[in-house]
Amino acid sequence: MADLSRADQAASGQAAVGQVDVDRRPGDNGHWIKARHEFRGLRTVEHYFTVPLVHQAEVPGETITIFAREYSSTDHSAQEAATLPWLLFLQGGPGGRGNRVTSLSGWMKAAAKDFRILMLDQRGTGLSAPIERQSLELRGDAAAQAEYLTHFRADSIVADAESIRGVLGSGPWSVLGQSFGGFCALTYLSFAPEGLREVLITGGLAPLHGSADRVYQATFRRVAARNAEYFSWYPEDREQLTRIVRHLERQPEFLASGERLTPERFQMVGSFLGGNTRVHALHYLLEDAFIDTPSGERLSESFLEQVRGLVSRAGNPLYAVLHESIYGQGTATAWAAWRVLEDYPEFKPDAQEPLLTGEMVYPWYFEQDPALVPLREVAEQLAARQDWQPLYDPARLATNTVPVAAAVYEDDIYVDHDLSLETAAAVQGLQTWVTSDFHHDGIGEDGEGIFRRLFGMVRSRR
């Protein structure tokens, strides 16, 4: 094995299970493997790749390291697995790292029958040049940090994927994109379709044109309808929610991390509304809210701790900083959700019966969340940026030849059904499966069934 490069070892499957490559020096192609492990019916290989920070730079410059974990089933021998075609998974986000799993289930169980799965940590996430307040400080002032972050959108993620595909020696590969990962898949179809064998998209058909405002007009409408649906199931929670908001207006309550829980920040627990079964867990959260104390009625510590995990971006600051930029093409996003909110006063805390919000990002996030306060000026610069490059090529998508199948969820509060179908109609050959059986996290509910259905759709086209 000493005569094999690390890339050759990965391809041959000769490395021992549990082997750790303590050398970790990149090969000539900038690729190295740190370790392989086998447990609970799955086999993992930890890949590291060196890629340019700016792929289209005229002069070679700074590089970054991208991490991806390969998953395969032990139903295949290591040698057999090394011959399977690749399926690249593009995670939701922005700012979401690749899934860390301890067994093959759901869509991965279905996919592992035919593929090696490459679980990519998109740049800026996980082990791929991770973006946090501390790491951004290395870039310099706010202007330098903002400029750096312009290289962490879908176009750069796709360029990374193409570079990795070449290093792995793969022909056109299959891609599964969930949510923002679906946005990235559309960018892939726009600018590097030659690298794609087929594309599956779940809850991730982005609008190809228009400002971010039209996205949030649709989003607020969907979230309002989801609030109404939830309160029709749990009418007692309508009063409980208002009671919590009014309590927070008059009584300071603090999270364990020290910051005050404001009414508008509490409304972020509306993230529950985007789920299939998770939405019902919101009821269990709200019923934990109050406790009697010597000083009167207060929010319980157990409730506040649950809320802290829902309203803090400490674990994923990139989501807040780059969120609206995923819709930026040629114009400033200018805090679109905050501006559109003026058309939907029922979402404001002082409404008679305030509603819970969804995934919208507002300027006050960068005033109230300690993890985001240091990034306030960076976020302001990104919101004002005018020269965002196109993320899609409508002309190329109109002549697309890559088989594509997309699950479109009728009541998705994060990726609007109507805008999704508008995009589907603009991509030649894209097949849609429109369903009301799932919400945005459908692959977490029945990933195996959804994967098989979409996979069957693309393969039927061959």
User: What ranges do the domains of the chain cover?
Assistant: 6-208+391-459, 212-384
Catalytic site positions: 179, 387, 440
Looking at residue 71, what is its pLDDT?
Answer: 98
Residue 116 exposed, middle or buried by CB count within 10 Å (0-12, 13-18, 19+): buried
CATH fold label, 6-208+391-459: Rossmann fold (3.40.50)
CA gap 97, 120 in Å, rounded: 7
Looking at residue 271, what is its pLDDT?
Answer: 93
Instruction: For the chain, list residues with pLDDT below 70.
Output: 1-25, 462
Looking at residue 451, what is its pLDDT?
Answer: 98
Structural contact between residues 305 and 256, judged by C-beta atoms closer than 8 angstroms: yes
**Which residues, in sequence order, are bridge partners of residue 176?**
89, 200
Residue 227 exposed, middle or buried by CB count within 10 Å (0-12, 13-18, 19+): buried
Contacts of 347 (CB under 8 A, 6+ apart): 220, 223, 224, 267, 341, 354, 355, 357
Q: Given its phi and psi angles, is residue 95 left (phi above 0), alpha (psi -120 to 50 degrees) or beta? A: left
Looking at residue 19, what is its pLDDT?
Answer: 57
Helix (H, G, I), strand (E, B) or coil at 174: strand
Q: What number of other Cβ atoms are within 10 A of residue 318's Cβ?
A: 24
Helix then strand then coil, % of the chain, to nearest 5 = 45, 15, 40
> Tokens 């009301």 belong to which residue?
436
Looking at residue 153, what is its pLDDT?
Answer: 97
Q: What is the DSSP letter of 161?
A: H
Query: Side chain identity at 173, as an amino acid letter?
Result: W
Looking at residue 11, what is its pLDDT?
Answer: 41
CA gap 351, 365 in Å, rounded: 20
Rg (CA), the chain: 23
Looking at residue 358, what is its pLDDT?
Answer: 79
Q: What number of other Cβ atoms are within 10 A of residue 190's Cβ?
A: 22
- Stated pTM of the model: 0.93
